Structure 1
């Protein structure tokens, strides 16, 4: 398999499925935008076969913010016993879950 111009060796299972490992440092070097991934193999008759698949690498930063904690941004000893949790945002659903104390 060739990804971003670098060759990797895949493991092929008896059922024909395969997998390839790409080290984290190589993934970190992927450029933003379209990235070509090409798998090369040999069929049962010895003929070379290949398949090109393009993926999009999106390096846009994810915005993270922390809302007011415990209603006033003050952590008091009294909350040590009752506890609290901050709101959390689910970007996939575009919704917020509640705050518990």
Structure 2
């Protein structure tokens, strides 16, 4: 049985790089420990999948090199999208790019 976290590939929707270039960019005060807790399959990851219908969470480990991950959250209904850029060795606020009518 697939969890919501795995459904993104079934719907085949993801914004292209052109769309992402025009995304709204913000920052978050989340820190590494916060993200570790959210992405732990026994903790936040399962809760996100269970509590947020129509959402897909993708964690791309080392997407931009060792220790530099991407986290993406998609609302498959509204085609809203958020990408968090997570360099694990940084003390700066993390950058988030968002598209669509719903702020994730």
TM range (shorter): under 0.3
What TM-score does the superposition give when structure 2 sets the normalisation length? 0.26
Q: TM-score, normalised by structure 1?
A: 0.26
* Richer in helix (by share): 2
Query: Which of structures 1 and 2 has the bigger CA Rg?
Result: 1
